[in-house]
Structure 1
Amino acid sequence: HKLRQALRSRAIKLWEPPYTSPDSGSALDAASMQSLAESLSQNLRLCPSACAAALENLRQQTLDNAESLAHFRATQEATLKVRLPRGQNPQLLRIRCSLQSTGYQFKSLIVARAPQLSMAGVSLICNGRVLEDALSLGNQGVQHNNSLMLLVRATTDDVQNLRASADDADALREAETEAGLLAGEEDDGLGSAGGGSAALHVTNQRGEKINLPREHRKALYYAMILGEKGKAALRSNQHGRALVLLLAADEAFNRVDRSLLDRVDNHALLQLDTVWCYLCLGRLDELGDAWDRLGLAERALVKAYGEQLERVEAVKGTSAGGERIHLLRLHLLKAMCCFYSNRLEEAATEARLASAELDKLAVDDAGLSSLMGMGFSLLESRLALRHCANDTQAAINWIVARRERQRTQAAERKLQRRLGYLDDGETRVSAASCLRLTEMGYLESHAHEALVLTRNSIDAALTLLQDDQDRLQTLADQRYNSRLQLVLDTATSSGIASADAQRLSSKLYRLIGAKLEALSRRQQRDPTGNHSLKAQQLLIGCIDELLEDEQQQKQTSEASDASPSSAAASSSVPSSLASWTTTDSDEGEAATALAAKIRRVEQEKEAAEAASPDAAALREASQRQRKALDKLRDEVGDQDEEAYLDSDLQEERRQLDRLLAMLDN
C-alpha cells in the first residue's frame, strides 16, 4: 500500500520506459529500478532490497493484468487469482476459465494445479460470498481478474480430517433442514410441539419474545443457526469453517425484513465475527468487503444501542457494561483494517478508542475473586463488575437483581403456557399481570378469568376479584373441563391409547391445554385451516416426551434394585409397558408373558394408526423436531442468555498491543 501510494503521488508508471521495454515487457534499465528502490526505501523507511523486490513484483503484476485483460477481450476466458492459505504451495494460482463454468468445474481446475487439495475439502469465497458448486461463476458475481479466497478443510492425505469436517455444502443443507423443523415448532406462536419451553425464538433486549411473520421465520432461524455454528467454530479457532458458516448466515439474514433486524443486534455482531475471520486468515485482499461489513455493523449497533449506549441503559435499566465489548471489537477491527490499508493516522485514532473501551471493561481481579468466593459464577461476576464499574457491593446487588429478574421471566414464560389467549384467540393473557394478582393472594385460575373478562386490564380485574369470585370460579371450572376434554378428544383422534391419555391427562392439561384451546378456536373461525392437525402433532410430541421420561425414570429406579440380568431385560421394554413387571421367578414363563404383551401392544398401536393414518406421520415429524433441537444444542451448547457479552478479552488485548507496537514502529 505504501509503495502504490508513493508511485501514484510521483506519477511513476513501472510498465513504461525506463523501467519496462515496450517491446519485450522485460526490465529495460536495472539501474533506474535500483535508483527508484533506494529513493523510495529512504522515504518510506523500508529495506532497500525488500523495496526493490516489491517494485519488481508490482511491475510484473501490472504486465500480467494487461495481458490477461487482452486475452479476456479476445476469447472471453477470464483470469482468476486464487489465493491459497498460508503453508500451501503454491501460494497464488492464476487460472483461466469461462465465467460460464460452474463452481465445481473451477474447483477441478484448482485441484489439477494443486493436487494436494481435495475437491470435497475446499471452499471458494469471492466478494464475501461462498461459491456454490452447481451455479456458474458469472451467476455468482465472479468477474474477470477477481481474487478468490480458498479455504482448505482437508487435503488428499488428510483422510481423518476430511471425514470429520465433511462437505460444507452438507453442513449448510443440514442447517436449513434444522431451521425448517424448528420454525415449524413455533407456528402461529403456539410454542414447541412437545409442550415444553419454546425450542428456538428471538427476543429483544428486554428478553421478550418477538413474534415473527411466517414468511420470515425460517430465513431468520436458518441465519441464526448458521451464526451460532459459526461462533462455535470460531471459539475452537476453526477460522476457515467459521467463515463459510458466517457468510452463509449473512446471506440468509439478507432475506429477512430489514425492520426486524433493526430490533436485534445479531446481524451486526455477525459482521464483526466475519471480519475477525478475514484478519485471522490473513486475507488482506478482502479489505474492501471488510470495510463494507464494519460500516454495516457500526450503523446497526448505533440503531440497536444508541450513540452512547443510552438505548441499552434505558431498556435494561442498568449501565451498558457488557455491550461495550462490541464497541471495543468494532474499534479494534477498524484500527487493524486502517493499518493494513496504510491509513496510519486513522488506525492510531481507532486504536486509542479501542484502548479506552478496554480500560472501561477491565475487571478488578480482587473483586472477581471476592464474588466467586461468595459462590457466584465467573460469567455473572465478570458481567456484574463491568456493569458496576468494579464496585463489589453494587455488583452483588446487580447479580441478585439479575437472578430475580431471570426467575420472574422464567415464571412468566411457564405461566404463559398455561394462560393462553383471550377470547379473540390472538391476544395473549398477560402473564405479568396474572403474577401480580397471584402475589396479592388471589387464585391463579380466578386471576386468569378476570384478565380474560377485562382484556388484560389489571385494575378492572382486581375489582372483579374482589366483587365476583363465585362467577370467576364457575368460569374457571368450565375452562378446566373444556380444556381437559380437548386433550382427551385430540388424543383419541391422534390414535393415542386412551389409558395413556387418561393417566397423563393432568400433565397434558398443564402443558398444552391452553394451546389446544387456541387451536380449537382458530379451527372454528377457519374450518379450512389445518389447526386440528397441528393440535394432534402438538399432543403426540408432548405425550411421547412424557412417556420417554416415565420410562427413563422407571429404568433408573429398577436398575438400582434389580439384578444385572433383570435390569438388562427391563431396559428393552417399550414405554407403553412401563407399568408392567413380572412377578414370576421362572425366566421362561416371564419371557413368554413379555413377548405376548409386546405383541398385544403392537397390535393396539397398528389398529390405532390404521384408524388415524396421520398419527404415524405426525409422530415422526415431532421426533424429527426434537432430534434437530438436540443436535443443535449438542453442537452450539446451552449458554447463559448473556454469555455473548462475556469475555476475558485476552485475545483482544493481545491484538491491540501488537497493533500499537506496529504503529510505533
Structure 2
Amino acid sequence: MEELKREFHGLKRGQRQLCSRVIATALSKRHADGSLPIGDYNIELEDQGGHQVKFGTETDQSAAMMGLMLHTKGKSLIELEKYSDAVEVLSMAEESFLLCDPKILEFVDNIPIMEIDIVWCYFLLRDLKCLSDAGVRLEKARKGLERAHGKDLSRVRLLQAGQCPELALYVRLELLEGVVAYHTGQNNKALNALKSAHAKLSQLQIPDETLSLVMGMGFQEEDAKRALRLNNQDIASSVDFLIEERAKRAQKRKDDLQRQKEILEQKTYGVTPLKKGVDMQMLDRLVSIGYARDLAAESLRRNENDFQKALDALTSPESNSMIQGYIESRKRKRQEQQVGITVDELVSMGFERGRATFALAAGGKREDIIQRLLSVPEANHGIAATTFIGNGSGATSSSNNVAARESVSNEIGGWAEEEDSEMKDETTDGEEERDSEIEEEIADEIAKVDALSAYDINLDREIEAINEYLGMLDASQDSV
C-alpha cells in the first residue's frame, strides 16, 4: 500500500489530476444515490441558508457534487500558488457542472465564481495567450452573476437581508475585465472597469481601530473582517452577525455528530441488494409502530427500503420468523468472530449443540466459554441453559427454544450465510480499492467551506494590480 501511495505522489501533474477526478467521481456517486457512506464523513449539498439541497435526478446530484468538490480542490491549489494545476482541476469542475440540467444551476453563482477563478489563474500566470478565452469566461461570469444576484444586485440584497458578501468578488471580476480590456487595446473600457473596482475596494477597506474593537470582544481576525465587510463596517450589526454565526456553527457541529452517529448505525445494518444504505427515516417510522430496530432495519434492507413491502414482511409470521432467524445467525457469527471459536468447534469437542450455543451467547473469551461448559455437569445442562438465557423456563422448554431457532436457521438454509458473506463483500470490497488518503484530503477541504467562504477574498494582490494598471493607463495617456 505504501508503495502505491509513493507511486501516486510521484505521478506527473496531469496524471495526478486525472486521479483526483476519478476519486472525486467516486465520492460524488457514493453520496448522491443513497449509497452507504464509506469513511468517517458524509458529503451533502447545502444552500446559503444551511439547508440540504436535493436535485431532481441522481445524475444531476452526482455531477453537481463532483463539480463542487473539484472547485474546492482548485481553490486550495490557488492558495498553494499552483496555478497551472488549479486551471486543470477547475476545467474538470466546469465539465462536471455542464452535465447538470442548466435550469438547476441557473440561479446559483458557483459556476460564475469558477469562471472568475480560472481567469484569475491566467492573470497570476501572466499568460497573455489566454486573453481571448479569458474575455469569453468573464462575459459568461458577468451574465451568470446577474442571473444569480439580480440586476444591480437586487436579488442577493433581498436574500442576504441587505448584506453585501459578494462585493470582493466583483472587485476581482472588474479588475480582470479591466486587464483584458487593456491588453486588447480598449483603454476607455479598461479605465471604467478599474475605477469601478477601485471604488468597491474602498468600501471594503476596514480601519484598524474598527477591526480592533470587534476583535476585542473575543472574535478572531478573519471572522471579524468578514463580519465588518458584510455589514458595511457597522460594529453593532457585525457583532450580532458573529454571535449568530457562532450559534449556527455550534448547531452544525451538533447536527454533524448526530449524522455521524446515524451513519455508524446505518453501517451495522449492511446494504440492500442494490447496495444502498438502510433508509433511517423509514426505519424510525417502523420503530415508532412498535417493531424492534434491528428487525425493522433488516426488513427494509431486504426490500430495498420499500416501506410497504418491509411492513408486509414484518406482519407476515413466516417472513418475520425468517428475518429473526437471520438476525440471530448474524449475531452468532459476530460473537464467534469476537471470541475466536464457533458452535461447530464446540460440538466437535463433545459439547451438546444447545449448551454450546447458549455458552457462546453468554459472551467472554474462548477459554472462558470452554471453562463454563466444563464446569457444568451434563445432567444439569437445562439449568445451565436457563441461566444463560435469563428466563425462568425449565430444561425442556429451554431445549425447545434452541431447537426452534436452529430449525428456522436450517429452513432458510445456506442462503443466510451466503447473504451475510455478500454483504461483507459489498461493504468492504470498495474500501480496498479506495485511496483513503486522497479522499480524506478532499473531504477535509470541503469541510472548511461554508456558504460565505467563496467571498472571503484576500484583496492584497487586487490592490497592487489595480494601482499597477491605472498607472499604466495614465502613462499611455500622457504619451499620446
TM-score range, shorter chain: 0.5 to 0.7
Give the letter aligned to residue 231 of structure 1.
K
Per the alignment, residue 235 of structure 2 pairs with 392
Change (3 A) 1:625 1:371: farther
> Could you tell me which residue of structure 2 aligns to residue 185 of structure 1?
31
Q: Deviation at 1:253?
A: 1.8
Of stretches 399-408 and 650-659 in structure 1, the one that deviates more from structure 2 is 399-408
Is it true that 1:519 corresponds to 2:327 in the alignment? Answer: no
Match of 1:373 in 2: 216
Query: Does the aligned pair in 2 maintain the 1:291–1:337 contact within 8 Å?
Result: yes
Match of 1:615 in 2: 423
2:17 to 161, 164, 171: 171
Query: Which residue of structure 2 aligns with residue 276 of structure 1?
Result: 120
Distance in 2 of aligned mates of 1:652 and 1:661? 14
Q: Can you give the 5+ residue segments of structure 2 that lack an aligned partner in the other structure?
A: 1-5, 263-280, 314-333, 335-362, 369-414, 476-480
Task: State how 1:102-251 maps to structure 2 within 5 Å.
Answer: 164=10, 166-188=12-34, 193=37, 199-212=42-55, 213-251=57-95
Alignment partners' CA distance in 2, 1:418 and 1:268: 36
Deviation at 1:304, TM superposition (A): 1.2
**1:658 matches 2:461:** no
Give the Cα separation in 1 of the matches to 2:25 and 2:68: 9
Residues 1:482 and 1:582: Cα distance change in structure 2 (over 3 Å): closer
Is contact 1:182-1:625 (8 Å) kept? no
May I ask how many residue pairs the two structures share in their alignment?
355
TM-align CA RMSD: 4.1
Which residue is 2:161 aligned to?
Answer: 317
| Deviation (angstroms), 1:520 | 4.0
Unaligned runs of 5+ in 1: 1-159, 420-447, 453-474, 494-515, 528-546, 548-577, 584-606
**CA–CA distance in 2 between the matches of 1:252 and 1:377?**
36
Shift of 1:261: 1.7
Output aligned runs, 1:406-555, within 5 Å: 406-407=249-250, 478-479=288-289, 481-487=291-297, 519-521=305-307
Aligned to 1:632: 442
SS in 1 for 2:45: coil
Tell me by how many angstroms 1:608 deviates.
8.4
Letter in 1 for 2:222: L
Report if aligned partners of 1:220, 1:253 keep a CA contact under 8 Å in 2.
yes
Describe how 1:19-98 pairs up with structure 2 within 5 A. none
Cα separation, 1, equivalents of 2:120 and 2:470: 18
Normalising by structure 2, report the TM-score: 0.63
Give the conservation status (yes or no) of the 8 Å contact 1:223–1:248: yes
| Separation in 1, partners of 2:16, 2:49 | 36
What is the match of residue 77 of structure 1?
none
Give the helix-richer structure, 1 or 2.
Answer: 2
What residue number does 2:407 align with? none
- The structure-2 alpha-carbon separation of the partners of 1:216 and 1:478, relative to structure 1 and needing over 3 Å to count, comes to closer
Q: What is the aligned partner in structure 1 of residue 185 from structure 2?
A: 342
Letter in 2 for 1:312: V
Cα displacement (A) at 1:225: 2.3
For 1:522 and 1:314, the matched residues in 2 are separated by 43
Normalization by structure 1: what TM-score? 0.47
Does the CA contact (< 8 Å) of 1:222 and 1:252 recur in 2?
yes
Partner of 1:331: 174
CA distance in 2, matches of 1:354, 1:486: 60
Task: Tell which deviates more after alignment, 651-660 or 242-251.
Answer: 242-251
3-state SS of the aligned residue for 2:151?
coil
Moved more, 303-312 or 237-246: 303-312
Asked if 1:355 corresponds to 2:201, the answer is no
Kindly provide the CA deviation profile for residues 352-407 of structure 1, in whole angstroms up to 9, marking residues without a partner as x. 11011111111222222222232212232111101222122221111112233444
Alpha-carbon distance between aligned partners in 2 of 1:405 and 1:272, rounded to the nearest angstrom? 29
How far 1:162 sits from its partner (Å)?
11
1:89-122 Cα distance to aligned partner (Å, 9 max, x none): xxxxxxxxxxxxxxxxxxxxxxxxxxxxxxxxxx
State the distance in 2 between where 1:267 and 1:347 align.
Answer: 24
Identity, % of aligned pairs? 22
**Alignment check: 8 A CA contact 1:338 1:346 kept:** yes
Q: Counterparts of 1:318 and 1:580 in 2: how far apart (Å)? A: 65
Which amino acid is 1:612 matched to? D
Higher relative contact order (CA 8 A, sep 6+): 2
